[in-house]
Chains A and B, each alone.
Chain A
Amino acid sequence: MTVEAEAAIHADPHHIPADADYLTYERGWKSWLTTVDHKRIGVMYLISILLAFFAGGVFALILRTELLTPGRTIMEADTYNEMFTLHGAIMVFLFIIPSIPAAIGNFVLPIMLGAKDVAFPKLNLASLYIYWVGAIFTLVAITQGHIDTGWTFYTPYSTRADNSAIWMTIGVFILGFSSILTGLNFIATVHTMRGPGMHWRRLPLFIWGTYATAVIQVLATPVLAITLALLAMEKIVGVGVFDPALGGDPVLFQHFFWFYSHPAVYIMILPGMAIVNEVIATFSRRKIFGYMFIAMSSVALALLGFLVWGHHMFVSGQSEYATMVFSALTFLVAIPSGVKIFNWLATLYQGSISLESPMLYSLAFIALFTIGGLTGLFLGTLSTDIHLHDTYFVVAHFHYVMVGGTVFGFLSGLHYWWPKITGRLYDERWARVAFSLVFIGFNVTFLSQFVLGSRGMPRRYYSYLDQFQPLHMTSSGGAYVLGVGFLVMAVMFAKSLKSGEKAGRNPWGSAGYEWQTSPRPHPHNFAEQPVFTRGPYDYHLASERELFTGTDAEWDTHVAKKAEA
């Protein structure tokens, strides 16, 4: 060790050598479980949510297998009811809600801001532990069996029927706090931890998106908590707040539930949109069109999301006044969503587009989200909703938004930041094969469900009329293709981890800030505090070094060659 280095350590006990990287700086499982590094926490979140995604996916495949034939195929009706409840609850609460903010957001957000960490690193680790505790309760619920309420836990069925929904309820209650803490942390981080030169108009749009998400997480999730607390008290003590026999109102439960769960739809989709912003700009090599409009449309979506929850309750017997107001407001959501789509298309226009896998997922996001969004208008219209309510049309609609939107956005982000997270590249050819399978499989699965629903096939049914069988079989076939696609992707990523080519610091040639740190970031994100002098999409202001896609060694040879010439 040199004298200077020793002196530096003496002056600053937190000094870390400039060439350290976050994965190898400390070793051993203890260093992982006690870390407060947002990147490591992000990675642990990523692994956890991928396990949840796998579990939820297996349940989905079992469901689709059961639906191959009317009547019994592989399981009894009761088992089927439990399976769709587990599929829904795991996918929503354990996978989608924490997916982008807690896993990818945790990793990327402080780097983009030029901060050493999030504002409250210990709280960040606590939120991960809380997530695990919530997941354990969910596992207990699975082993206890008999949770057949659907992920919505509607009363009075959930409080009266003999089931172990109570475990699931407590699990989700706990998961909610993990989500609140993540949101709280992100808001405080964006407000107080921005590096020098990072003013609000230079924030990457990914941060605007996760910021808007965090606002919803903080304001809406506590209402879910109190709802579930009341549900638990209803079941344990018989408080009667939602029990009509005791003067309670089950529709009030739906108000409570959807006051959270509708905004939660935006917790799921806004981060997906946020990723698309980054990817579209990078792979068009172009300044994003209408920066402020996109940023503000995220905030607008977050706020509008609170005003429309009643559109889940059009046939619940709520007041006609409320129904009309909720329907009218629902259409307003189309405006900020449309603003985003137009801005993305305008960014693509005359861009220098390259179609690598992250871009493919993002382009698919735009198409699928548009379908999902527009079919939402059918459901927001009062008269058509009466026909389509609780049919496969609804199932197809929200899968187009949740899978076509959020999951495609998540996959786009995972492919995009994979080299930054792992320091390795993956096999682009296999990534494209996986993309094709996922894209085709997804559309086959859910396009047929639009048709099924509009013809009257109700959701959550175990059996169906014979005339629906061809469409159900098509849908199941699509689901298998989708499953194979994910399998190919998993193998492709595993291969990359094991023997992938070492990545440079900026393999996509992006002007984004997070690509300026070393391939696997320094434990404090940047070895030296960066000073931001340009926007994250200013390709015309970025230097050749900043946009160089090779490794650092290749850059040195590049410079040497230039000097020779």
Chain B
Amino acid sequence: MSTDAHGNSKFLQHHYDTPAQQFGAAKLGMWLFLAQELLFFSGLFVAYGVYRSWYPDAWVVGSHLLDYRMGTANTCVLLLSSFTAVMAVRSAQTGNQKATGNFLLATIFLAGCFMVVKYFEYHHKFEVGYLPGQHFAPHGEGLVEIVAAARETGVNGVPFHLRTFFGLYFVMTGIHGLHVLVGMFVMGWMWNRNRKGEFSKRYSTPVEMTALYWHLVDIIWIFLFPLLYLID
């Protein structure tokens, strides 16, 4: 039986008995990987929680210095990319090679859009001096914005710990952005494998695993968005 299963499938690795066993293992492994990703990000969320509870003023003012419209746009872009990712999986499972490729390309494109918006956000912050930690030195327009944000939120002064806020902002969005880049790369790889016709109704595991990773990246952003951009 094991010989039969191996005999007629080129994707079944030697140490598995059946494709189902291989798929089950791959999926379990992927969920474990996602679990460790969550714990990896947990450190950032804990630091965020601690400092937000200590320095509420800095957090309110800092949040107002971020452009929530850009954040909202990026959220929508990522949600849409999650949808195209899940459609890529569906197309692969139904054996529609062309659609799989197109949906993967769409996902990569949306991820690229996300990074472009992120670039403009970062660029602005670098320009006005909203830099992390010890390099925090707002000047020019940056100062104007801080005064406006402080007035708007009723904070009577410039919170010293804005630097901590921006330190965490850059670390959290930076590490998330790194995950987006990795996701784009992996999806490009999947697109290439799909183009070569490696996936079929019987075997679409790599596309499914890539999509799982992509959804996790989306989930992280779902939390980052209100926690960073929408503090009132």
Q: How far is the CA of A188 from the CA of B23 in the complex (A)?
A: 11
Q: How far is the CA of A222 from the CA of B170 in the complex (A)?
A: 19
B132 and A237 contact, CB distance less than 8 A = yes
A230 at the interface (CB under 8 A from B): yes
A226 and B35 contact, CB distance less than 8 A = no
Interface residue total, chain A, C-beta cutoff 8 A = 48
Given the interface pairs A184-B33, A240-B163, the reply to whether A233 lies near B171 with Cβ below 8 Å is yes
Interface residue total, chain B, C-beta cutoff 8 A = 41
Query: Which residue of chain A has the shortest Cβ distance to B23 in the bound complex?
Result: A192
C-beta contact mask, B155-171 vs A, less than 8 Å → 1, else 0? 00000110110011011
B14 and A116 contact, CB distance less than 8 A = yes
A300 at the interface (CB under 8 A from B): no
State which of B41-49, B139-147, B184-192, B194-202 sits at the interface with chain A: B41-49
Chain B CB count within 10 A is highest, among A187, A239, A249, for A239
Query: Which residue of chain A has the shortest Cβ distance to B45 in the bound complex?
Result: A226
CB neighbours (8 Å) of A14 from chain B are 6, 14
Q: How far is the CA of A239 from the CA of B133 in the complex (A)?
A: 4
C-beta contact mask, A107-135 vs B, less than 8 Å → 1, else 0? 00000000111011101000000000000
State which of A65-73, A213-221, A364-372, A476-484 sits at the interface with chain B: A213-221
Q: Which of A185, A238, A240 sits near B29, CB closer than 8 Å?
A: A185
A248 and B164 contact, CB distance less than 8 A = yes
A240 and B134 contact, CB distance less than 8 A = yes
Given the interface pairs A223-B43, A252-B50, the reply to whether A241 lies near B29 with Cβ below 8 Å is no
B47 and A222 contact, CB distance less than 8 A = no
A193 at the interface (CB under 8 A from B): yes
Given the interface pairs A12-B3, A14-B14, A117-B15, the reply to whether A188 lies near B25 with Cβ below 8 Å is yes
B135 at the interface (CB under 8 A from A): yes
Q: How far is the CA of A11 from the CA of B43 in the complex (A)?
A: 52
CB neighbours (8 Å) of A220 from chain B are 39
Shortest distance from the beta carbon of B122 to any chain A beta carbon, whole Å: 14
B28 and A191 contact, CB distance less than 8 A = yes
Q: Which of A165-190 contact B (CB under 8 A)?
A: 180, 183-185, 187-189
CB neighbours (8 Å) of A12 from chain B are 3, 6-7
A119 and B29 contact, CB distance less than 8 A = yes
B154 at the interface (CB under 8 A from A): no
CB neighbours (8 Å) of B55 from chain A are 247
Query: Which residue of chain B has the shortest Cβ distance to A226 in the bound complex?
Result: B43
Shortest distance from the beta carbon of A247 to any chain B beta carbon, whole Å: 4
A227 at the interface (CB under 8 A from B): yes
B25 and A241 contact, CB distance less than 8 A = no
A222 and B36 contact, CB distance less than 8 A = yes
Chain B CB count within 10 A is highest, among A115, A123, A192, for A192
A243 at the interface (CB under 8 A from B): yes
Q: Which of A459-497 contact B (CB under 8 A)?
A: none
Given contacts A191-B24, A240-B163, 4 further A-B contacts (CB under 8 A): A117-B15, A183-B32, A247-B161, A252-B47
A-binding residues in B (CB < 8 A): 2-3, 6-7, 13-15, 21, 24-25, 28-29, 32-33, 35-37, 39-44, 46-47, 50-51, 55, 132-135, 160-161, 163-164, 167-168, 170-171, 175
